[in-house]
Chain A
């Protein structure tokens, strides 16, 4: 069995001999076995993650009957764009898309405008009240009023069925603020502030003209976190929005994908054909809704990594 696996790997996947080895030292047989097992496990993990995603993509391009009977395995079978044609004409998806883009863009901007300046102020050691303000902020990470008090507050503020409910309540993210603060503490040298002070530069001047231009990396990180958060937000629409025209993409997806409200296939289809066609639409919708994030993410990966690591240092 081990030989079979070894053989199949010579065609694709990571090769064992590329694995780290002590310079100038001969590997023992035991280490070779360990290397091999590690490579095998990693290969299995990668396949287990890639295959479901790949399957959705090929299923969205395949003949739905072939998908339902298990004939679609590695490449599309009975290539068709019928599912996508149907999706393109479904107005609900476009409304959802438009709403999500609006909420995401405005929400991310507001997030940055509120979070970054606060993080800067919290990073100044000479600003004594920062300890108590930080406590005020971090306490909310561990304790909250809960669903109903928040709901009643939104109601009182007139935020039910109002697009600002997507933007204002989450405008200040404590976790993001902590990440940005750690960044400022580590990467803005104290000498910079000292010399700015000697030159009579105020905090405003220092922040806007010196700190911000040096902070594009952290702004990108926080912006991306906010972007993903807004894009995938389902809870807000569920609780606070009753009006379908204002629902963001995720809530529209829930209606179509989970509550099974796909538009029916054309007349003359049997029930089974209609169900299969509905499934194909689902595959297509998953691709259409998730693609933007998955396509941009490998390019932005280093920023995401950076965010996690900066956040890790200060916890």
Chain B
């Protein structure tokens, strides 16, 4: 980047000449990208470099990477942590339920909305179903608390004297149902886009062959959204251990903690609240690596099976 001079009089080597020529032509594009590169290096790659803290003792005087090397000590501690099994089970349970239901619901909703003939009703249903997407996590969780309040809440009055928010076995259903409620409308936009690009001739041809409404959905609509669904499924696999921190954290309380402690909340508790920086970093790294492996596996499988992949 420092070299933005015009071509030097007699370049000695071919690579040097090409580089100079490149910057002469494209230095303005470099300038336009430079802030982005700087931000990503500082705020994404510096922490990535700092992840070696997982293998070191944290030493406040020596900074992020100066502590004594201790190898896998903190990973071993995590695997031997009495909470390890529970945290992994909770994380997988919450995330698999949410991923599965959050994947299916928008597809069904899109297929249904696509059946609406009237443009106005269609627009109305879309506007309504997108709306909850803009509610913040804090407000969403407090809505859950208010509605589930025992005796007085809109739903809570049907569940007896104890709040379901404190019931460990209700945690996962409350989590995924509210996730689906909030985001299914928004997530179906992408499928509606795919459906709107279906060639009308396909419907006409199918109708001439005697296809009814359900067959049109089965043999025209569903194949039309399969590629989109495939890509989204792969992307979702990359976050199989990445249950959103905010919502779980806000829904958590001492009564449901056995079902609601997940990797991200544990990382926060250990790291920020207990100041065990190295241990927390190790748990976070474990989490990232598992996610990454899932993503790669899902991508490879999808490419083999259906030629769909994201890279």
Contact = CB atoms under 8 A, between A and B. Distances in A.
A18 B117 contact: yes
Given A35-B213, A204-B28, A149 B295 contact: no
The main secondary structure of chain A at its interface with chain B is helix
Interface in A40-71: 41-42, 45-46, 48-50, 52-53, 55-56, 67-70
A28 B280 CA distance: 63
A112 to B, nearest CB: 11
Contact of B47 (A120, A149, A238): A149
B281 to A, nearest CB: 4
A279 B146 contact: yes
B61 interface: no
A259 to B, nearest CB: 10
A203 B32 CA distance: 9
A156 B146 contact: no
B137 interface: yes
Interface residues of B, number: 94
Contact of A55 (B45, B131, B154, B194): B154
B117 A235 contact: no
Contact of A46 (B22, B125, B137, B292): B125
B137 A146 contact: no
The main secondary structure of chain B at its interface with chain A is helix
Contacts of A124: 29
B280 A133 contact: no
B104 interface: no
B28 A146 contact: no
Contacts of B139: 253, 257, 286, 289-290
Given A56-B143, A147-B284, A309-B189, A14 B121 contact: yes
B112 to A, nearest CB: 6
Given A152-B277, A172-B36, 7 more contacts: A20-B115, A49-B129, A114-B39, A120-B32, A143-B288, A294-B134, A308-B189
19 contacts: A20-B117, A30-B212, A46-B125, A52-B147, A114-B35, A115-B36, A117-B36, A118-B35, A118-B37, A121-B29, A145-B284, A147-B267, A148-B267, A148-B281, A204-B28, A253-B139, A286-B142, A286-B143, A305-B193
What 9 A-B pairs are tightest by C-beta distance, nearest first?
A: A145-B47, A146-B284, A20-B117, A149-B50, A118-B36, A232-B136, A257-B142, A117-B32, A149-B47
